[in-house]
Amino acid sequence: MLKKLFQSFRFPLRRLPHPRRTPEILSSRQHSLHRNDLSRHAVSVVERLQHAGYEAYVVGGCVRDLLLDLEPKDYDVATSATPEQVRAEFRNARVIGRRFKLVHVHFGREIIEVATFRANHPEEDDDEANHLASRNESGRILRDNIYGTLEDDAQRRDFTINALYYDPSSERILDHTHGVHDIRNRLIRLIGDPEQRYQEDPVRMLRAVRFAAKLNFEIEKHSAEPIADLAELLNDVPSARLFDEIIKLFLSGKAERTFELLLEYDLFAPLFPASADALEDNPEYAGTLIRNALINTDLRIAQGKPVTPAFLFAALLWPALPARVAEVQSRGLPPIPAMQEAAHDLIWEQCQRTAIPKRFTMPMREIWDMQERLPRRQGRRADQLLENPRFRAGYDFLLLRESAGEKTDGLGEWWTDYQEANESERRNMIRGLSNKDDGSGAPRKRRRSNRRKRGPNESAPASAD
């Protein structure tokens, strides 16, 4: 208690001095952004904080996207007010987070996220800072609630293109890091020393790839150089956070480009180790299947159609599955149980890296399971499969496998025709399979005879004259 008492009289946290930089100020005539382009709720939050005596700006990705004529998905505000002070100004606000303390101001379905200006972490251990900020042994930031000035906040942001501050009252942009220059040159540039910044938060490597793919930018060479060597730091990132980042990576409408960049910078293997091994063993098949799945995902997003992470993860992991199924079958299990056991093990391993929720892993297993059931079409099986709620996803996945060059003896075409056929045509298609196996490779079952088994001394009945 005495230690805490003495600490309360100490000076504010020590920070390493850094040369102050006067921001470049762009007037409304030097950029294309106008306050009417912004969410009116974001503007009202900024102006209300300014009227209360605080500094406040619209900041980050929304400013970047508007300068690129893109529609922002959300709006962020940075302010000199602490979270508690922001909360006091808005009855419709609540403080969230521990690692990064933020305020969400609610306007119906729209949420304006308000963050207090933050400063960089002190380089040396300081007991006074332990409850405000901390790092692990590799340098990754575990907690970040050290508040600072506008300039501090700009210097601690990740990329220059995300460090632009827009004041809707004066319609000026404050640019501390030459972010507008990098937007014009279509560059993703990390603020500060790249190696140190990636060590602070390895997810920044994934964010660099995501922004490069989304905006069709290039990663600036100094920012790109350490990525491959530091990719293994992603192994220390919590699996739940990596799942969220993967969803952002592959469901932003630029999944194929994202995949190519992940491969280029050796970031795919830390995210999907089993799939990376399969891609190395059979690059043509695995690469084609994954790319075709991602192209289809991008197309559906562009068309405004729904996409499900279950199908996406099923495609990303499938190249690693057949070899495991074959291994389990070699121990004597039939195809469907072997598929189920191999799928369980593969998904469990992947969830150690990316915490896929059960609401997605269950449909994944059903899609894979359907690949063993679709060849079994004899009798009423075909109609029963059509009624299965996972049939469409399983059928689409079958076509995806065929598009990658997998041989299925025309199974995809058969199911396409069967769905379009009338009842009598379907019966003929089923009868057309009667001279073949049931599609599974297993021999047809012998029909049980209703006649009584004769004893060894009984002879066959005489035929009638």
The number of angstroms, rounded, from the C-alpha of 289 to the middle of its chain's C-alpha atoms is: 18
Q: Is 409 a catalytic residue?
A: no
Q: Which listed residue (37, 65, 69, 74) is catalytic?
A: 74
Among candidates 10, 15, 350, which has minimal Cα distance to 155?
A: 15
- Between CA 127 and CA 132, with CA 130 as vertex, the angle to 5 degrees is 130
Q: Is 74 a catalytic residue?
A: yes
> What is the C-alpha to C-alpha distance for residues 130 and 127, in angstroms, rounded to an integer?
5
Among candidates 133, 175, 123, 137, which has minimal Cα distance to 154?
A: 175
CB 249 within 8 A of CB 209: yes
Q: Which listed residue (158, 167, 175, 182) is catalytic?
A: 158
Maximum CA pair distance of the chain? Answer: 121
CB 121 within 8 A of CB 133: yes
Residue 110 parent element (H or E): strand 110-116
Tokens for 172, please give them.
């000026």
Q: Which listed residue (37, 65, 69, 76) is catalytic?
A: 76
Among candidates 76, 74, 86, 56, which has minimal Cα distance to 174?
A: 56
Tokens for 304, please give them.
């405004």
Task: Bin 362: left if φ > 0, else alpha if -120 < ψ < 50, else beta.
Answer: alpha
Tokens for 242, please give them.
């990596």
> What is the C-alpha to C-alpha distance for residues 445 and 343, in angstroms, rounded to an integer?
28
Q: Is 158 a catalytic residue?
A: yes
330-348 CB burial, b ≥16 within 10 A, e <16: eeeeebeebbbbbbeebbe
CB 167 within 8 A of CB 57: yes
Tokens for 309, please give them.
């992470």
So which residues are the catalytic ones?
A: 74, 76, 158
